[in-house]
Amino acid sequence: MAKKATGKFTPKRRRKKLIPNRVRWNSDVIVDLMRQFDFPYVPLNPGASFRGLHDSMVNYGQDDPQMLLCPHENIAIQIAHGYAKATGEPLVVILHNLVGLLHSCMAVYYAYIDRAPIFIMGATGPMDAAVRRPRTDWIHTANVQGNAIRDYTKWDDQPHTIDAVPESFARAYSVMMSEPQGPVYTCYDATLLETKQPHEVRLPAIGKPKVPTRMAPDPAALARVVDLLVAAKKPILIADWTCRAPIGYGDLVALAETLSAGVIDVGARLNFPTRHPLNMTQCATDALKNVDLVLCLDTRDSARITHVLDSVTRKTVSKVPKGATWIDISFADLEISSWSTDYGPRMDADIRILADTSLAIPELTRLVRRRTVRNKALAKRIATRGLALEKLHNATRQRNLKRAKENWDAKPMTTGRLASEIWDVIKDEDWVLTAGNLSGWTHRLWDFDEPYRYPGAALGTATQIGISLGVALAHRDKKRLVVDIQPDGDLMFDPGALWVAAKYKIPMLVIMYNNRAYYNDWEHQIRMARHRGTPVERAYIGMDIVKPEVDFANLARSMGWYAEDRIEAGKDVGAALRRAIAVVKSGKPALVDTVTQFR
């Protein structure tokens, strides 16, 4: 059985000794705050707007927290994003005035919709136009710079005096870490950072809570949920952000086992062991067929998993029978945006509880157990239900194993063959998969038995390599084998991330998912062609990554990586992976370029 994850990911850090200057600068206060709030790393791309802060970090702070130089602001944000997903802890990211902020916008948006806490710090100005450098300072300065990302951050602020900075910093941290979590942005005037401290600046009190307590459920509403759960014949649990690091995984297992209820993992985080007999994720259609109660746990968009989508007409049909009871326990409208519609369709639930599932789930388990202890007939019915679900789970697993063997010797290899070959090599390692799941094959075949095995589903293109780097950084000191199954199109956006891994000795294994195309969109064009009667064979135009084909191995070598050249046959993957893993265990990153079929 999977272990329950508890506590912080890392202990409080031992800091290098501060080296005060004879003159105290305002920018020193920011260093004091970063250390007081225990930030370990600061990904950044250099910028003159925070040159005063940079000097304080290098000399006063002795590069502690450690700066991580990134060749693009997107990579800096994504490293913090991946680190937060893996650990539950935030990093500071520093962005150069207006232009650096605008470079980062897409990465900030993805962090926002993925609930990643990131403390984004910027600089602007000088706001005093009388001291701006000609042209450069003018075109790099904005009025209320946070407006650029205000629609997809939880909060932003631009304090005008050094005495206002500590309160702004502490509030930003609290807002960022309060659930539902997300990125925040604080911006400082360049002149403010470069000015001598006028007097000693008061910092937030040490030892006081930095973040408020979690949100508990309404006891009366929770009691009603328990009544419905124990009365249901075929309940099912749907989890999305339920098991965010480092909480929730063991608690959800306990609730599912107490009820013998199937669990469908939507996948924003790893919510449930893949080989647990109550895991219904791979057989969701069959599992939902006859359910009479659906309990959504921190699930933003339940329609994704409970409906069948026609990708051409965009019409959906529910898999859940009419008359089933729907219950929602989540942060609901607390995380809704007036700009982005990332919140999904509104659930017309019978009971809606605004609460943190990390508190609601253990309490539900306790209340249900109390009922089953006193009611032998109920306990027997629950046990019988569990046996039926286990049978469905096992049958689905056998079908997937059989499917993986189809076209086993095809060249280029199938995605099922690649997933099988990787698993055969890493299954005895203490491994972590960063983001991509090889079109679902990893979760069909691998044993995700610990909460840290997978920080959550991949996001849009131009996110995975940076996020994977942050995940690898998070696990570096624990000596885990971090595996990134890396789409080729995604890496083409941010190849500079490879350089960061080599420079800062972040060991990770990148296995290219090289299908030589932006195939997700290619599939859409195939659907359109069939729907409209246009030539399917022309759907590839504007989608394929060939002529020339990218030499990912040499690209990686040019940035200091070990790399294995293109592999098209599945039989050659295992040996290449073992050679690469030996390099990763020595503390260096390694890439294996595997060429696959499209799916």
pLDDT tens figures, 390-401: 999 999 999 999
Highest mean pLDDT among 63-67, 143-147, 315-319: 63-67
**Domain annotation covers residue 129:** yes
Domain CATH code at residue 108: 3.40.50.970
**Domain annotation covers residue 212:** no
Report d(CA 130, CA 137) in Å as an integer. 11
Residue 312 is predicted with a pLDDT of 81
What lies within 8 Å, CB to CB, of 398 at 6+ separation is: none
Locus of tokens 């017309």: 348
CA distances (Å), origin 209, targets 35, 155, 174, 178: 16, 19, 9, 12
Average confidence (pLDDT) over 204-213:
95
H or E element, residue 251: helix 249-259
**Are 346 and 243 in a shared domain?**
yes
What lies within 8 Å, CB to CB, of 114 at 6+ separation is: 81, 85, 268, 456, 459
Residue type, 189: D
**Are 497 and 590 in a shared domain?**
yes
**Are 332 and 383 in a shared domain?**
yes
**Domain annotation covers residue 342:** yes
Beta bridge pairs of residue 95: 122
Domain CATH code at residue 231: 3.40.50.1220
Highest mean pLDDT among 141-155, 233-247, 572-586: 572-586
Q: How confident is the model at residue 315 (pLDDT cuts 50, 70, 90)?
A: confident
Instruction: Say how many domains are in the chain.
Output: 3
Q: How confident is the model at residue 314 (pLDDT cuts 50, 70, 90)?
A: confident
Report d(CA 70, CA 599) in Å as an integer. 32
Report d(CA 532, CA 426) in Å as an integer. 45
Residue 374 is predicted with a pLDDT of 85
- The residue out of 368, 401, 434 marking a domain boundary is 401
Residue 12 is predicted with a pLDDT of 63
Q: Return mean pLDDT, the chain.
A: 93
**Are 388 and 410 in a shared domain?**
no
Average confidence (pLDDT) over 329-345:
85
- The residue out of 380, 401, 422 marking a domain boundary is 401
**Are 343 and 421 in a shared domain?**
no
Q: Return the SS3 of 143.
A: coil
**Are 157 and 293 in a shared domain?**
no
**Domain annotation covers residue 206:** no
Average confidence (pLDDT) over 67-74:
98
Which percentage of the chain shows pLDDT scores above 90?
80
Locus of tokens 């002149």: 191
Q: Over 70: is that where the pLDDT of 434 sits?
A: yes
Q: Over 90: is that where the pLDDT of 309 sits?
A: no
CA distances (Å), origin 565, targets 495, 562, 573, 585: 17, 10, 11, 20
**Domain annotation covers residue 208:** no
- The residue out of 143, 158, 193 marking a domain boundary is 193
Residue type, 369: R
Average confidence (pLDDT) over 25-52:
96
**Domain annotation covers residue 2:** no
Exposure class string for 552-576: b at 16+ Cβ within 10 A, else e = bbebbeebebbbbebbbebeebeeb
What is the total residue count of the chain?
599
**Are 512 and 374 in a shared domain?**
no
**Are 169 and 131 in a shared domain?**
yes
Q: Over 50: is that where the pLDDT of 2 sits?
A: no
Residue type, 170: A
Residue 5 is predicted with a pLDDT of 37
pTM: 0.95
**Are 280 and 345 in a shared domain?**
yes
Strands (E), 395-469: 431-433
114 vs 143, more confident: 114
Residue 71 is predicted with a pLDDT of 97
Average confidence (pLDDT) over 427-439:
96
Domain coverage including residue 128: 26-193
**Domain annotation covers residue 455:** yes
Q: Over 60: is that where the pLDDT of 116 sits?
A: yes
**Domain annotation covers residue 226:** yes
**Are 348 and 262 in a shared domain?**
yes
**Are 290 and 415 in a shared domain?**
no
**Are 171 and 230 in a shared domain?**
no
What lies within 8 Å, CB to CB, of 373 at 6+ separation is: 379
> How far apart are the two ends of the chain, measured CA to CA in Å?
32
